[in-house]
Amino acid sequence: MKPPRFQYWAPGSLAEALEGLWQLEDQGYTTKLLAGGQSLMPVLNMRLSAPDVIVDLNHLAPELSTVQEVSETLHIGAMTRHYQLESHPVLGARAPIIAEAERYIGHVAIRSRGTIGGSLVHADPSAELPLVLALLQGTVTLQSRESIREVSAQDFFVTYLTTAITSTEILTAITLPTLPPGSGQSLEEVASRPGDFAIVAAAAQVTLDSDEAIHAVRLALGGVSSVPLDVSGSIAFLVGEIPTAQLWIECTQSLADLVEPDSDVHADSAYRKDLTVALSRRALTHAWQRARQGASLGSIGNKGGEG
Amino acid sequence: MEIDLKERVSYTLQINDRTYAVEDVEPRLLLADVLRDFLGLTGTHLGCEHGACGACTVLADGRPIRSCLTLGVGAKGLALQTVEGLAPNDGPLSRLQDAFWEEHGLQCGFCTSGMLMTATFFLREHPKPSRKEIREALSGNLCRCTGYQNIVNAIERSAQDLGENYS
Amino acid sequence: MNARQRRIEDPALLRGNIPFVADLHFAGMLEAVVVRSIYAHAMLDVVNVQPALESPGVKTVVTAMDLPSACGPIPMRLSPSSELEAALQYPLARDRVRFVGEPIAVIVAGSRYEAEDARPGVEVRYRPLTATTNVRQAMKNPVLFDTLDSNQVYQHRQYHRLVESKEPDPTLRQLHLSFSIQRHTAMPLETRGLVAVPEDGRITVYGATKVLHFNRRVLAGFLGLDVTAVRLVEVAVGGGFGVRGEFYPEDYLIPWLALRLQRPVRWIEDRLEHLQAANHSRQQEHEVDVSYDDTGRIYHLHDEIIVDTGAYIRTHGVTVPELTQGMLPGPYRWQEVDTQLRVVLTNKTPTGTYRGPGRFEGTFVRERVMDAIASTLHLDPLTVRQKNLLTVDTLPFSHGMQALGEEIVWDSGDYPLALAQAAHLMAKEEFPRRRAAASARGRRRGLGFAMFVEKSGLGPWEDCRVAVDADGRFTCWTGLSTLGQGTMTALTRILAETWGVSASQIRIVHGDTDQVPESHGTFASRATVMGGSAAFYSARTLKSRLQALAAPLLEAHPEDVILTDRGAEVTGVPTVAVSYKDLVEESVRQALPLDVTERFSASAMTYPYGVHGCELEVCPNTGMIQIVRYGVVYDVGRAVDRDLVKDQIVGGVAQGIGGALLEELAYDEQGQLVTGTLMDYLLPGFCDVPEIAVMITEVAPATSNPLGIKGAGEGGAVGVAPAIANALADALNAPPEAFTTLPLRPQDILRWSRMDQLPGKGAKR
């Protein structure tokens, strides 16, 4: 299990990288972009991919790992690594679901190197960050020498391990809305072992108005489809309701009919449907409780209490 | 613009506070193979070569990384530490190594280097960990022999020794 | 309480400066890669290696056509049987492949990278055949080997009746249950590997372990060399658990290539190869019928055991199936045992032993049945067990079953005591309170137990040589291997205690066929029992020689002479001593050599036993479980070092948890392994293994060896699956047929949980 032969190029700046990708495409080279390498390197070691050129983006890390908040929007550089995301003070306050998601991602060594951009481009439908992007209706910035485009989560994730990015583009940034006032977020998942990709994951955001009625509610599911699935529409009817614990039980009951997950050796389709209901309920309930507390951080540290 | 595509590379690595030159090699060489086959630092072991077992864990700028998922050429500029850097060759074992010895925190010893490196990082960040925290922090490192309990004991003991020495 | 003894193996391992096989480097060393079948079943029409030969750095590429005629199929080491010989595996496939991962060719190049580059250059034209992937289908499908009549390659009925029974008693209750145990295996953290170094007409093979001398004989035969021209050397070994150290195709191919090329050749298996080609284990189906009366007394045990043995018979022959059958009855008194064993070939990786072979499977079946019986009678499962356990006064006892060529005779033990101790260890009395508290939190809590009898100390014999030099340095030569268990620490302890000298005075030489003439090896929990006993005998002989030499010099009785690190002295008179230098001189003068070899022989195995207890909680919404309490009582006869025994038990439990809950080598219908990486083959990690309480007892010493010791390698693994399954059934009030399929997956747990949502159901005790 050793990587195949390739030529190596480590551009020093984004501009250089974009120019180079364009030229390499022109000259007929196949390329792979190396960010944290936590998904690409296993693929290379198993020789499931044999690009002509590996373009190592790690010299771009200083340029592409800034986190900025601009008028209720978060801009996260694509080379921001998981360990930076999990403890970033701005993200902790303004998008607490990211820190919550990070607790489920891989293990410490994976989080040392892996990047948010790499995770999104890998597009595993049971991965946590794609789920967060789908939940929050975030966008990614895809840049090439010739263009720069903002692509929504829905358009970005095409199918299993496939996105809308082209071979001359680099995913440079992720844009997410900040947590609206009166909101709570939650991500719940079941995995075979801690740190594994989820069998099913559910992410929710609940926004309450001043009367504690639902102002907005969002829900997205991972592990039940070829892409992370935004199912907010199916619970939109809740807007205006005053939630109770019972309401979340009732509104999630029918979610099982909404998804057609595949079976695999670790979990069959019926179990994934069961988890869809159980985890959606849990995520919505927690998000609601957090919205009521008006707290975004205080209570999310309790991972793994239920396996 | 000229793209500097390289079929062979030369670079230096900073490992255990020493500088090593790696001359004229293919860029595809994994950091683990550079350490083991080119620099003779065979204390870092390869257990799966796809990032799942943790045996090859080394520290880079103080944080654990998988040396099987890192290119050697990609490690230049990082301050690397391997198991060989934990204790001087003819000197005593480090406190953590000694705790592993005392607590039978190893059997075959194949996963041990990776355990030691991850635990070194973890104890720096969490000098007074609970057993649950130890288990969560080390969960990316697999061991097939010990059932983990004695490794948790060893890390806990190492942390206690640390505490006692400072009190 | 004794302070924990530090293991002599550890300092070098902790520094990372003792070589494992992949760490070895020799001048001019080449690296090999094995090209393996991508089909589960196919004819090999054409194998063209020419493109691979032209790949940069490649030195040679070989296929079956290149192998010398002396190279036959790999023989059976254990339980050889002529009817199985038709299904042995050749080192390289000749005209037909029978599992994904079967070796077809070997590429040798300057580096592993270059050798892998050449792999696509071995062009194989396959003509696919129907793949047989399950045992029921296999009995109907075309045969895998043209010389066989059936894919059922072996069958064996063992029927024994204890009492002259009358007609079948119609008042007895009957229970039928079907069990399935999934394919999984040892998965040591270090993959397999070899470095073969030719020099001066000899070949040295590094990376051997477990059964060096047997493997040397096989290899020498294949190479056409005298055994003295073949040297096998063990270096540090990253875990064995049954799978490592058997004679695999590479164990011939790599030394042969090294001789052919006259260059050192290294082959390090990668993890994907290990998953595909190292021995699998465990896959069995059981159809069980038991009869019992209303009080829970058991009568008949009938079991049809169908074993998926994979595509070839490997070195273990049918050891695992035979052990399953032979040890199935466990610690209970059955009036009648009737077992029908069927071993079936399929297009999957061949199988061998894995820690607790046959007992992991059989214990799961039997102990789940015991709880199922109890549940139909609304009795406490421990009450049913106590009613049927063999008692101290009935041992030794045999059901007449056989395995490994000997009758299985439970030699000594107090099984009822162990069960009572386990109930105490698990705080069973207070369990209802804990269950109620969990219930208040919305969790279902259950407590389950499983009993087992293990085997250890397989014969026939083991030698040990010891010597002392003029500086008082003791050396011990043993044929044992150490694969992580601390065998050398245990041997040192036996020797140090026998002689009365410090461990630091003792050096152990092992793992080198040039240094140790013969050994049966390290497997089946035989190392400490057999090798330890041999060490004890040789140490005792050496000591008595030293005493005899010293006594006249000290003007004392030999029995009053004791040994110290400095020499010999009279007990209680430390001021007068004779140095080892003087003793060595005296031994030369008297022609009484201070170099002794003794043999320990055993005609029967010795049987440790114990109990597992598991308490767990189930989340009724997800089916995920949390093991909240786990305990093992283990009677080891006499412990050489209790900490080493505990280490083995805890490590074994972790592997048992993997087998019970997580690990599966799953195949699709085309015979492709679908869990072929460690992302899919799920080994238990830190958070998957609970804290484990171990109670080592020394109630029933072995009668067949001088130290009274029984082995400890496997008892940790064998009781886990039934303890967890029984705890689940208890938590969820599940019927007898629940939790009879491994692994126990959350989806099944959730389903059984749903069936017990009816209000009012509950407290069964």
Q: At what angle do helices B149-166 and C642-657 cross, to 10 degrees?
A: 120
Res A304: pLDDT: 35
Find, among C445, C477, C738, C453, the residue nearest to C598 by Cα.
C477
Q: Domain extents for chain B? A: 9-85, 95-162
Region of residue A17 (phi > 0: left; psi between -120 and 50: alpha; otherwise: beta): alpha
Q: Indicate the class that CATH gives domain B95-162.
A: mainly alpha
Q: Do domains C358-456+605-756 and C461-601 have the same CATH topology?
A: yes
Bridging pattern class, strands A67-70 and A139-143? unpaired
Q: Domain extents for chain A? A: 7-60, 67-177, 183-296
A67-177 in CATH: which number?
3.30.465.10
| Gap from A54 CA to chain B (nearest CA, Å) | 9
The C-alpha atoms of residue C28 and residue C121 are separated, in whole angstroms, by 24
C461-601 in CATH: which number?
3.30.365.10
The C-alpha atoms of residue C481 and residue C462 are separated, in whole angstroms, by 12
Cβ contacts (< 8 Å) between B59 and chain A: which residues?
A: none
Is 60 exceeded by the pLDDT of residue A69? yes
Q: Please indicate whether, in this complex, the C-beta atoms of B134 and C11 are within 8 angstroms of each other.
A: no
| Gap from C272 CA to chain A (nearest CA, Å) | 8
The DSSP annotation for C242-288 comes to TTTTS--HHHHHHHHHHHHHTS-EEEE--HHHHHHHS-BB--EEEEE
Instruction: State the average pLDDT over residues C246-258.
Output: 98
Which residue in chain C has the smallest CA separation from B107?
Answer: C484
Average pLDDT for chain C: 95
pLDDT in tens, C345-390: 999 999 999 999 999 999 999 999 999 999 999 999 999 999 999 9
Instruction: Decide: C714 and C458 in contact? Cβ < 8 Å.
Output: no
Q: Indicate the class that CATH gives domain A7-60.
A: alpha beta
Q: Domain extents for chain C? A: 10-129+191-236+244-277, 358-456+605-756, 461-601
State whether residue B48 sits within 8 Å of chain C by CB: yes
| Domain formed by B9-85, architecture | Roll (3.10)
Cβ contacts (< 8 Å) between B66 and chain A: which residues?
A: 38, 109-110, 113
Amino acid identity for residue C98 in this structure: R
pLDDT in tens, B36-57: 999 999 999 999 999 999 999 9
Q: Indicate the class that CATH gives domain C358-456+605-756.
A: alpha beta
Task: Quickly state the pLDDT bin for C78 (edges 50, 70, 90).
Answer: confident
Cβ contacts (< 8 Å) between B78 and chain A: which residues?
A: none
Q: What is the ipTM of this complex?
A: 0.97
Which residue in chain C has the smallest CA separation from B152?
Answer: C686
Cβ contacts (< 8 Å) between A44 and chain B: which residues?
A: 28
Task: Quickly state the pLDDT bin for C20 (edges 50, 70, 90).
Answer: very high
Res C208: pLDDT: 93
State whether residue C712 sits within 8 Å of chain B by CB: no
The C-alpha atoms of residue C150 and residue C147 are separated, in whole angstroms, by 9
Percent of chain C with pLDDT over 70: 98
Is 90 exceeded by the pLDDT of residue C679? yes
For C221, other C-beta atoms within 10 Å of its C-beta total: 16
Res C759: pLDDT: 47
Res C491: pLDDT: 96
Protein fold of C10-129+191-236+244-277:
Aldehyde Oxidoreductase; domain 3 (3.90.1170)
Instruction: Decide: C270 and C191 in contact? Cβ < 8 Å.
Output: yes
Res B166: pLDDT: 46
Is 90 exceeded by the pLDDT of residue A297? no
Is 80 exceeded by the pLDDT of residue A247? yes
B149-158, C73-82, C424-433, C643-652: segment of lowest average pLDDT: C73-82
Find, among C563, C717, C725, the residue nearest to C649 by Cα.
C717
State whether residue B69 sits within 8 Å of chain C by CB: no
Cβ contacts (< 8 Å) between B48 and chain C: which residues?
A: 271, 677-678
Instruction: Decide: C723 and C612 in contact? Cβ < 8 Å.
Output: yes
CB pairs under 8 A between B and C: 174
Which residue in chain C has the smallest CA separation from A282?
Answer: C621
Q: Report how far apart, in Å, the C-alpha atoms of C499 and of each of C476, C539, C567 are.
A: 12, 7, 11
Q: Do domains B9-85 and B95-162 have the same CATH topology?
A: no
Q: Please indicate whether, in this complex, the C-beta atoms of A34 and B71 are within 8 angstroms of each other.
A: yes
Protein fold of A183-296:
Enolase-like; domain 1 (3.30.390)
CB pairs under 8 A between A and C: 72
pLDDT in tens, C150-195: 999 999 999 999 876 666 788 999 999 999 999 999 999 999 999 9
